[in-house]
Amino acid sequence: MENLIFSLNATVPVFFMMVLGMILKKVGWIHESFASQLNRFVFLVPLPVLLFQDIATVDFHKAWNFPFVAFCFVATLLSITIAAFISCTLTQKSIRAEFVQVTYRSSAALLGVA
């Protein structure tokens, strides 16, 4: 139960910010050009600073968990492999690489920062 609460504490605020952004866009307070510029700013400035701060202050000897890292590696490799095999069933060859990339790409790294 602790893991569930920890996960919810990390993901729910991000989810609510996304909902708030959708509401503000529908109301007309945020326009597409502003959202695009703000998105670019967040990915170029505060996110790298936050990641640097987190990495600079962590004790890797205490934080390193090899079984978890190995699990993440195997799960990612497996999902990419499955996506690649599924993409072989697509009739349009031009979208196969795009399908594989979209299948395993996610915002898990961004959510993991939270």
Question: pTM (2 decimals)?
Answer: 0.48
Domain interval for residue 108: 65-114
Specify if 7 maps to a domain.
Answer: no
Specify if 8 maps to a domain.
Answer: no
Q: What is the 3-state secondary structure (H, E, C) of the chain?
A: CHHHHHHHHHHHHHHHHHHHHHHHHHHCCCCHHHHHHHHHHHHHCHHHHHHHHHHHCCCHHHHCCHHHHHHHHHHHHHHHHHHHHHHCCCCCHHHHHHHHHHHHCCCHHHHHHC
Specify if 104 maps to a domain.
Answer: yes
Q: What pLDDT does 109 receive?
A: 53
Specify if 76 maps to a domain.
Answer: yes
Specify if 110 maps to a domain.
Answer: yes
pLDDT tens-digit readout, 78-103: 888 888 888 888 888 788 888 877 77
Specify if 23 maps to a domain.
Answer: no
Specify if 48 maps to a domain.
Answer: no
Domain count, the chain: 1
pLDDT tens-digit readout, 6-39: 888 878 888 888 899 889 889 989 888 888 898 8
Specify if 103 maps to a domain.
Answer: yes
